[in-house]
Structure 1
Amino acid sequence: MTHIKSIGRFCPTDDNGYIINDSSLKKIKPDFYEVIEEVIEKYQSHLRADLHSVYIRGSVPRGFDIYNVSDLDTIAVTKNDINDIDLGWVHKAEQELNKKFNFVNGVEFSLYSIEDIIDTTTFSIIPFMIKTHSVCVFGEDLKVYLPNYKADKTIGNEHLVNLKNQVEQAKDDLDGNEDIEDILDCCGWIMKIIVRAGLALVVEEENQYTRDLFPAYKVFSKHYPEKEAEMKQVLKYAIKPVDNADEIIGFLNKFGNWMISESEKWLKLHNPKKVSNLKI
């Protein structure tokens, strides 16, 4: 039985409603020091002069990580276009660190060019994550060049506009899949997306945002009490993924499809002039 702990909180905000980044180097637990050092070394050895900066995002720099459960999510910013950089080393580097540091649920490498980060003419989740949920551990911190963000429909759009495609992708990846590790990864990935999409459905009413799964589940359930049991199951799948592909597909065919329907209603309501252009 998966035990759900009341862990996490909503992002703090200032007097104007802008999200405050509560990540800090001081909040990173000593167990992660060596992992982070090796992450930086991997980026440096492969990117060399192309490496601009490295960030740790998520629960670890906020002090909410759980031993053997939390991932170590990293972002590297490059000076040149990603398409011009050899990324063939990334998967192997992740595997090496995952094998060496088994108290981490997974080390994730992700790379974006500096142009992608500082171009904020339209909302993009990575600049948002750097500004609100990350701490810089190497290089120049780009937060000062990024705008402030509020918990509003812009974030809701980001979480909901691709939900249908993400659920369908998960089902396609799971169908006939016999790779246990791949099934577990896919289960955890799509269920985290669904929990956060649940929060997005009520972000306008709540004016609060979090990446943490438990508070997202709780606030969704407050507005959709009839769906609390299903979202609780999503949370359990996210915390402790299962390797039964047919079970996951069956669940996605039911609750996943309901979430897609609700997301389409939300997008039409909050983007009446743009809905014809939305790929939903």
Structure 2
Amino acid sequence: MAETAPSRGLDSQGHIAREGSLACVAHDFRPVVAAARERIPGLFGTRLHSAYLYGSIPRGTARVGRSDLDLLAVLREEPTDADRADGRALDEALDREFPQIDGGGTLLVGHARVLSDLERHDLGWFLACLCTPLLGEDLAEYLPRYRPDSLLARETNGDLALVLPRWRDRVSAAGASEAALRPLVRFMSRRLVRTAFTLVMPRWNGWTSDLHEMAEAFGAYYPQRAEQLRAAAVLGYEPRGDRAVLSSYVDDLGPWLADEYTRVHGVKARRPEEAQDGTGP
């Protein structure tokens, strides 16, 4: 019997359906993906377990000259500072060589961490549901199926209160130039919209990676904040280097959202390093 079509990003059993595939990569972005697949093994050698694409390129929604290339590399051991430097060098080289992308980022994680109990509903969910296999064995085979429940909401985005002080420091240190502020606006806009969406995700009962759809889902439950989220969704795709926007995020929307998230879902389990700044998935 044929499986019914996914509804709101869920399969017929109510689990979050994995988004994206190599088949969805648009023609313009295929050379970039091919270059990444060719170069990653040379950087990490036998220490590489697997590599993945995520974001708009494997979803087929990337825009030429506007979208970035998002990569995840899983190493057999925890990544070193040298590994991270190699990842940044790869990102910079691909950005220089391929005008169809606007920057990129390579996340590096250790194999054991992805499969750990602590990360099962954060990094594990991210890999199993939002990442497209590119190289090596797919670790999703060792991870559970996920539902859009309160546990997933807590463990993916329940650390906003921890992140906000570091965001304020980043805003203070960014200077006044549009070029310095624009990437912060894009990053913080996306993170806040995604956090707002996962706040209501269990009630909405589904998953989406579209920022506008996320904002609309949130607004149905928090109409008093709906316009702020719609504006943030726009800036997540079309950022402008506006310090007033960043100030509104760290002084108003962010603190309110962190308090409401804690009230509804609780606080994300603390990580040993406690040095994360919210720049990950």
Give the shorter-chain TM-score range.
Answer: 0.7 to 0.9
Which of 160, 164, 186 is 2:161 aligned to?
A: 164
Give the aligned partner of residue 212 of structure 2: 214
CA RMSD of aligned residues (A): 2.6
Contact 2:212/2:230 (8 A) holds in 1:
no
Does the C-alpha gap of structure 1 residues 110 and 121 become closer, same or farther in structure 2, counting only changes over 3 Å?
Answer: closer
Distance 1:112 1:251 in 2: 29
Which of 156, 171, 175 is 1:174 aligned to?
A: 171
Quote the offset at 1:84 in angstroms.
8.2
Which of 13, 21, 25 is 2:10 aligned to?
A: 13
Which of 34, 37, 42 is 1:37 aligned to?
A: 34
The AA in structure 2 aligned to 1:132 is C
Structure 1 residues 222-231 or 62-71, which shifts more? 62-71
Does structure 1 residue 77 correspond to structure 2 residue 74?
yes
Q: For this pair of structures, how many residues does the alignment match? A: 265
Does the C-alpha gap of structure 1 residues 29 and 267 become closer, same or farther in structure 2, counting only changes over 3 Å?
Answer: same
Does the C-alpha gap of structure 1 residues 55 and 251 become closer, same or farther in structure 2, counting only changes over 3 Å?
Answer: closer
Q: SS state of the match for residue 88, structure 1?
A: helix
User: Which ranges of structure 2 fall in alignment gaps of 5 or more residues?
Assistant: 1-5, 275-281
Q: SS state of the match for residue 211, structure 1?
A: coil
Does the C-alpha gap of structure 1 residues 39 and 182 become closer, same or farther in structure 2, counting only changes over 3 Å?
Answer: farther
Quote the offset at 1:174 in angstroms.
1.1
Contact 2:51/2:134 (8 A) holds in 1:
yes
Distance 2:225 2:244 in 1: 22
Give the aligned partner of residue 239 of structure 2: 241
Which of 113, 122, 125 is 1:116 aligned to?
A: 113
Give the aligned partner of residue 150 of structure 1: 147
Structure 1 residues 226-235 or 242-251, which shifts more? 242-251
Does the C-alpha gap of structure 1 residues 164 and 10 become closer, same or farther in structure 2, counting only changes over 3 Å?
Answer: farther
Does the C-alpha gap of structure 1 residues 210 and 49 become closer, same or farther in structure 2, counting only changes over 3 Å?
Answer: same
Residue deviations 1:235-261, cap 9 Å, x none?
Answer: 122112222334422443122222222
Does the C-alpha gap of structure 1 residues 111 and 98 become closer, same or farther in structure 2, counting only changes over 3 Å?
Answer: same
Which of 246, 252, 255 is 2:253 aligned to?
A: 255
TM-score scaled by structure 1?
0.84
Which of 131, 135, 141 is 2:128 aligned to?
A: 131
Residue deviations 1:109-131, cap 9 Å, x none?
Answer: 11112212223465342221221
Residue deviations 1:140-188, cap 9 Å, x none?
Answer: 2222111111111122103442112323322210114226444222211
Distance 1:159 1:124 in 2: 7
Structure 1 residues 74-83 or 9-18, which shifts more? 9-18
Q: SS state of the match for residue 85, structure 2?
A: coil
Which of 59, 62, 67 is 1:65 aligned to?
A: 62
Distance 1:30 1:191 in 2: 29
Distance 1:72 1:10 in 2: 27
Distance 1:84 1:228 in 2: 41
Does the C-alpha gap of structure 1 residues 43 and 267 become closer, same or farther in structure 2, counting only changes over 3 Å?
Answer: same
Give the aligned partner of residue 232 of structure 1: 230
Q: SS state of the match for residue 65, structure 1?
A: coil
Give the aligned partner of residue 52 of structure 2: 55
TM-score scaled by structure 2?
0.84
User: Which ranges of structure 1 fall in alignment gaps of 5 or more residues?
Assistant: 1-8
Distance 2:222 2:7 in 1: 19
Give the aligned partner of residue 196 of structure 1: 194
Q: SS state of the match for residue 52, structure 1?
A: strand
Quote the offset at 1:17 in angstroms.
1.1
Does the C-alpha gap of structure 1 residues 194 and 211 become closer, same or farther in structure 2, counting only changes over 3 Å?
Answer: same
Does structure 1 residue 100 correspond to structure 2 residue 97?
yes
The AA in structure 2 aligned to 1:52 is H
